[in-house]
Amino acid sequence: MDLENLEKQVSLLEDIHEIECLQRIYAYYFDSHQYDKVVDLFSDNAISAEIESHGVFYGKEGIRRFYWDNIGKKGQTMPPWMIQLLIIQIGGVVDVDPDGVNAKARFQTWLPEVMPSAAGPRQVWIHGYYENEYVKEKGKWYFSKIYWNVTFYTTYETGWLRFPMLGYFPFPDYDAPPTNFHPYPSGYHVPYHFMHPVTGE
């Protein structure tokens, strides 16, 4: 093998590693309420962010509005018991395009959480799948698009079969309504970005 092809192979492995780290670092910042750092993980030319039933937010400005203004409450300190998040990142499948500039990945998260509700703080189990997009600019990988589709959002005490979805929570300033909001037990499957690795279909 010549050096040029070897470098391509090494670069591909490095790219996959950097993207896996980017996704995991996103979650660590998210969980420790560092939403300004989350916003900085997105490209200035990023497409969109959509999580759960909060709606779609377009462009870097929309992404800042989503994470910093809406989720992070613009850095306002919240009572520590109010929000406990552990968006654990599991099962990454990363695919880098042959151009080495664009990439897609599927992950899933299963998480314990505490969130405020009208009746006081509530402990919940949540699950969902990501289908995200990434772009390499000036040698660094950025998020281009985050899309997370919720499977269930249930109270600790009841479980996903008895009470799959606690509610529908669109943010008032979204750019577009939630897409594909079909929680359990709808039977909805989040489409894969990848082809079958053996049959290629």
Partner 1 sequence: MATLEELQARIQRLDDIKQIEQLQKIYGYYMDYAEWQKVVDLFSDKDPSVEEADRGVYKGKERIKKYFIDLLGGGPGKTPRPGWLSIMFQLQGVVTCDISATTAKARWYGMGMEAKPTTSLHEGELRQTWISGVYENEYVKEDGKWKIKKLHFNLTFRTPYEDGWLKVPVVGQTGPDSKILPDEPPTAYFPYPSGFHLPVSFKHPITGK
Residue 112 near partner 1 by CB under 8 A: yes
What is the Cα–Cα distance from 28 to 33, expressed in whole angstroms? 9
Q: Which stretch binds partner 1 (CB under 8 A): 56-64, 68-76, 79-87, 187-195?
A: 79-87
Report the distance separating Cα 84 and Cα 54, nearest Å: 18
Query: Of residues 32, 117, 180, 186, which one binds partner 1 by CB under 8 A?
Result: 32
Quote helix, strand, coil % in the chain, to nearest 5: 25, 35, 40
Q: Find the shortest distance in angstroms from Cβ 187 to partner 1.
A: 28
Using CA of residue 146, residue 88, residue 33, residue 15, what is the dihedral sign? negative
101 binds partner 1 (CB under 8 A): no
Q: How far does CA 72 lie from the centroid of its chain?
A: 15
Helix then strand count (H, E) for the chain reads: 3, 7
Is residue 121 involved in binding partner 1 (CB under 8 A)?
yes
Which positions lie near partner 1, rule CB under 8 A?
A: 3-4, 6-7, 10, 13-14, 17-18, 21-22, 24-25, 27-29, 31-33, 37, 40-41, 79-81, 84, 86, 88-90, 112, 114, 121-123, 140-142, 156-157
